[in-house]
Amino acid sequence: MEPEEEPGGAAVREVYEEAGVKGKLGRLLGIFENLQLGFSPDLEKNPLSVAKLK
């Protein structure tokens, strides 16, 4: 995130910068922190959807 940037705006910007995809925000799915290298959320226990494709 950039200084003074809201999390939602940062998410939309990062998706566009990294993948070239324009999107819009939906509901908050969750917040994950990377506290150590190699950490990733356990998606089998906590599945989430990050996009709906048309």
Mean predicted confidence (pLDDT) in 32-54: 60
What average pLDDT is seen over the chain?
Answer: 76
Residues with a known catalytic role: 17
> Is residue 48 within 8 Å of residue 30, measured between CB atoms?
yes
* Cα 53 to Cα 4, 13, 23, 49, 50, distances in angstroms: 31, 19, 11, 11, 10
Mean predicted confidence (pLDDT) in 20-46: 71
Rounded to whole angstroms, the Cα distance separating 13 from 23 reads 9
Query: Is residue 3 predicted with pLDDT exceeding 60?
Result: yes
Across the chain, which distance is largest between two alpha carbons, in Å? 35
pLDDT band (50, 70, 90) for residue 28:
confident
37 or 25: which carries more pLDDT confidence? 25
